Amino acid sequence: MKDPLESLAIEVRQVLAGIAVFVAAAVVLVAVNPTLAGTLGVVFFFFVVMIGLHELGHFLMAKRAGMKVTEFFIGFGPRIWSMTRGETEYGIKALPLGGYCKIIGMTNLEDIATEDEPRTYRSKGWGAKVSTVVAGPVTHFLLATIFVYAILVGAGDHKAAKISMTIDDVTQSLDVFGPDGHKTGEVKSAAAKAGLRSGDEIVAVDGHAIDSWDAMTADFRRRAGEHIVVSVRRDGVELDLGLTLMTVYRDTVSDLIALDEFEGSTKSGFAGLSPLRVTPDVGIIEGLGLAPMRTWGAGVDTLGALGHMFSAQGIGEYFDNFSGPEPTPGTPSSGARFISPIGFGKIANDAVQSGWPTVFALLASINLFVGLLNLLPLLPFDGGHVAVATYEAIASKVRRRAVRVDFAKLLPVMIVTLSLLGFIFLSSMFLDIARPINTNF
């Protein structure tokens, strides 16, 4: 692999000046706008650290297999700094967008000196080849597991969280909109009128004991406009509070609610209460066993989502993003959709505002997605190289002679794959600008 931007001219003093400006700007940004600084930190991790570790995985396994690695660089473009140790040049380049390691003889299209041929990738056995290319995606799975472990130990096991009957928050009011779509006022919620408070434990409704928040909510939705009595325990004292359920209109898909009926909505009762979720704590030792299990489960879900995105239904949903209705502000976007660096920046900003567990969950999800995407059996993905190595190994045994794939014949496959990636990149960038994704963190 040759860096096409390497020939750009750059002077040392320009590099030093750029570094000084970057450090000064980072310090000022942390002081003035910590959220933006955190967002840039997440983006930096994605484009530099994560991809750099991916390439480091390839590098370490290639060295272990006895392959010759001539370059290992972080970034692309003109060299800022480099040093040569043994046969490998290590360094940093001007554009902090990932990195690469150059293993000689990845394909039969490279001309390699005769003395170096035994140390090429193509000359090695199936195990060495596969371990080298799979090491990149494996780093993403390891990173995801580390982030999941940090969430479990630092914030608890959210997957095992249970909804209690304690009120976490009371909606104080609902916005009223005029025919032109502009806000005209507010209406106090039923729960706020009744005097319900955060911390109240609901024990009964109309004299009937309640132990399921979901069942209570379903009952409320069926009883729009009815007067009920909610019994709560507050500071050890049981109180009976009268409450008249509001009549609202709800979108069953997005759960958007409004005071006036709108297309696709259904009539529903509304109190204005949200429950307290009780999240179990996870110990340092317990997390070591639980983190891989939670990561595996998330990986299976991610694989399913990835398969859906490339299914006929998923492709249809993706194109619907260009012509369907825009997502309603405040509700999560639905349907299959890729994100560009622009969309990732917005999601990262929303995650930073939500808190570090959301940031770590985002990074874990991104690592799982990138790791699984790289295992697709198509060139130039790592999975494509695994497929080629596996075919060569099987064909060699069947034919009782060494079989090597001619990569010149696979160039059309690579071109189609790269064209598809280019379309996804450009179309997702358009969507992220024209129809920004709603995260609802």
Q: What is the CA radius of gyration of the chain?
A: 28
Buried b or exposed e, range 217-243, using 16+ CB within 10 angstroms: bebbbebeeeebebbbbeeeeeeebeb
Q: Which fold has domain 162-278?
A: Pdz3 Domain (2.30.42)
Encode the chain (441 residues) as per-residue pLDDT tens digits. 455 555 544 455 555 565 566 566 666 655 666 677 677 778 778 778 898 899 999 999 999 999 999 999 988 778 888 889 999 999 888 777 778 899 999 988 889 999 999 999 999 999 999 999 999 999 999 999 999 999 999 999 988 899 999 999 998 887 766 665 566 677 888 899 999 999 999 999 999 998 899 999 999 999 999 999 999 999 999 999 999 998 888 876 656 777 777 777 788 899 989 999 999 999 999 999 999 999 999 999 999 988 888 888 888 888 887 876 565 544 455 556 788 888 888 888 888 888 889 989 999 999 999 999 999 999 989 999 999 999 999 999 999 998 899 999 999 989 999 999 999 889 888 888 887 776 665
323 burial (CB, 10 Å; 0-12 / 13-18 / 19+) is exposed
Give the β-pairing of 246-251 and 265-270.
antiparallel
Contact call for residues 92 and 78 (beta carbons, < 8 A): no
- C-alpha 311/C-alpha 334 separation (Å) is 16
pLDDT, residue 331, reads 47
| Residue ranges per structural domain of the chain | 136-160+283-441, 162-278
Tokens of 331: 């509700």
Tokens of 124: 């090695």
Which residue in 398, 397, 414 sits closest to 406, CA to CA?
414
Cα→Cα distances 105→88, 133, 224, 434, Å: 15, 14, 71, 43
Q: Is the peptide bond before 327 cis (omega within 30 degrees of 0)?
A: no
Q: What is the DSSP string of 32-55?
A: H-HHHHHHHHHHHIIIIIIHHHHH
Half-sphere exposure of 164 toward its Cβ, with a 13 Å CA cutoff? 13
Contacts of 337 (CB under 8 A, 6+ apart): 317, 318, 321, 428, 431, 437
pLDDT, residue 441, reads 58
> Which sign does the torsion angle of CA 358, 364, 369, 374 carry?
positive
pLDDT, residue 354, reads 85
pLDDT, residue 395, reads 94
> Which sign does the torsion angle of CA 408, 409, 410, 416 carry?
positive
Q: If you search the block for the tokens 């005029």, which residue do you land on?
A: 178
DSSP letter at 181 equals S
Tokens of 54: 């991916």
Q: How far apart are the first and last CA of the chain?
A: 40
Mutual angle of helices 407-434 and 341-354, in 10-degree steps: 50
pLDDT, residue 16, reads 55
pLDDT, residue 330, reads 46
Q: If you search the block for the tokens 């095992």, which residue do you land on?
A: 160
Task: Give the global pTM.
Answer: 0.79
Quick one: three-class SS letters along 420-440? Answer: HHHHHHHHHHHHHHHCCCCCC
- C-alpha 320/C-alpha 337 separation (Å) is 10
274's enclosing H/E stretch is strand 273-278
77's enclosing H/E stretch is strand 69-85
Position 87, amino acid: E
